[in-house]
Amino acid sequence: MSEQTTAIVHRHLDAWQKGDVDALLADYADDAVMMTRDTGVVAGKPQIRALFEHVFAEIFRPDDTRLQVTAELISGNHALVHWDATTSAFRTSGAFDAFTISDGKIVAQFAGMAADS
């Protein structure tokens, strides 16, 4: 399971860096849940799509974002990724995404970040 989880997380991060919403959504189960401090609970692919479209249009524009993974922990069907990102408008460090994978799809994601500047 760890190899499959690693492959899904790496594919997901690659799609995120490209701003490829369709590729990102392909990683999620239809009833997936995403939770963040800022957005609360986002459930299902339509809401997750809307969130990613907003994120890539307003916060992390793919042509203006440099993402650096600083740590990655994988155990079975769980993954934790720590990352930093820089855009022309701000920088964030110590951000994270935690994933739960089931049947080859992300079923839960928990994320957190705060802008440094």
CA distance 109 to 94: 17
Helix (H) / strand (E) containing 46: helix 45-54
Instruction: Specify if 9 maps to a domain.
Output: yes
Instruction: Say whether 30 sits in a helix, a strand or coil.
Output: strand
Are 99 and 78 in contact by the 8 Å Cβ rule? The answer is yes
CA distances from 108 to 1, 40, 87, 91 (A): 16, 13, 27, 26
Q: State which residues form the domain around 108.
A: 2-112
45-98 pLDDT, tens digit per residue, is 999 999 999 999 988 898 898 989 999 999 999 999 999 999 888 888 889 999
- pLDDT score, position 105: 97
10-27 mean pLDDT:
95
Instruction: Specify if 15 maps to a domain.
Output: yes
- pLDDT score, position 59: 86
19-33 pLDDT, tens digit per residue, is 999 999 999 999 999
**CATH code where residue 44 lies:** 3.10.450.50
Q: Give the bridge partners for 116, in sequence order.
A: none
Instruction: Specify if 41 maps to a domain.
Output: yes
Instruction: Specify if 117 maps to a domain.
Output: no
Total tally of structural domains belonging to the chain: 1
Instruction: Specify if 90 maps to a domain.
Output: yes
